[in-house]
């Protein structure tokens, strides 16, 4: 397979996979492009490579920078901004896990905490509260595991765990 074909296939697959995680396809495609490109790219480079608008590129780059997985770079003598992806895949996975927890798991835990406070005493209400408690316990345990693993970013143990998970 030729490099250009492999790059396109990777970018398309990364974008499709991201939609299953609830992440914007274009955002994932930009991230994929930056991950596999050795040099930082300008907005124009990204627009040309992915055939998307300037506004779409700018909006998604801002979001990727908010996630902490894309960085703005300055090249001396250049007026354009350039962008690159986190190069350390373990660090990238750690940052993504932190952000997904903040955006997805924490809000669910807040909702579960609210809905379990049913002020009825029927058997159905009791059953509902028990199931919500069980679910809340399970999600809290998963979130605590994510927090423990991600808090040990430079730790040798974290790298081993993440390699085992791979």
For residues 83 and 44, the answer to whether their CB atoms sit within 8 Å is no
Q: Are residues 51 and 104 in the same domain?
A: no
Q: Are residues 104 and 76 in the same domain?
A: no
Task: Give SS3 for 92.
Answer: helix
The pTM score is: 0.75
Min mean pLDDT across 30-34, 35-39, 83-87, 154-158 is at: 154-158
Instruction: Summarize the confidence of residues 121-139 as an average pLDDT.
Output: 91
Q: For the chain, first and last CA: distance in Å?
A: 25
Work out the number of other CB atoms within 10 angstroms of the CB of residue 30. 28
The CA–CA distances, whole Å, from 88 to 117, 125, 158 equal: 43, 48, 13
pLDDT greater at residue 53 or residue 98: 53
For residues 73 and 85, the answer to whether their CB atoms sit within 8 Å is no
Q: Are residues 149 and 133 in the same domain?
A: yes
CATH number at residue 31: 1.10.10.10
Domain that holds residue 59: 3-85
- pLDDT attached to residue 90: 82
- pLDDT attached to residue 165: 63
Could you give the number of structural domains in the chain? 2
Instruction: Summarize the confidence of residues 130-139 as an average pLDDT.
Output: 92
- pLDDT attached to residue 153: 57
Does position 114 have pLDDT exceeding 70, yes or no?
A: yes
- What's the CA gap between 32 and 4, in Å, rounded? 14
- pLDDT attached to residue 135: 93
């Amino acid at each position: 397979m030729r490099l250009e074909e492999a790059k396109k296939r990777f970018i398309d697959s990364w974008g499709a996979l991201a939609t299953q995680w609830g992440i914007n396809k274009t955002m994932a495609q930009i991230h994929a492009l930056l991950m596999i490109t050795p040099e930082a790219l300008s907005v124009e480079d990204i627009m040309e490579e992915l055939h998307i608008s300037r506004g779409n590129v700018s909006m998604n780059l801002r979001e990727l920078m908010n996630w902490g997985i894309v960085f703005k770079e300055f090249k001396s003598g250049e007026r354009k901004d350039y962008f690159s992806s986190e190069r350390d895949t373990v660090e990238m996975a750690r940052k993504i896990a932190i952000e997904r927890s903040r955006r997805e798991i924490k809000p669910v835990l807040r909702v579960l905490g609210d809905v379990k406070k049913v002020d009825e005493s029927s058997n159905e209400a009791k059953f509902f509260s028990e199931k919500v408690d069980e679910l809340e316990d399970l999600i809290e345990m998963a979130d605590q595991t994510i927090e423990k693993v991600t808090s040990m970013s430079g730790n040798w143990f974290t790298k081993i765990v993440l390699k085992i998970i791979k």
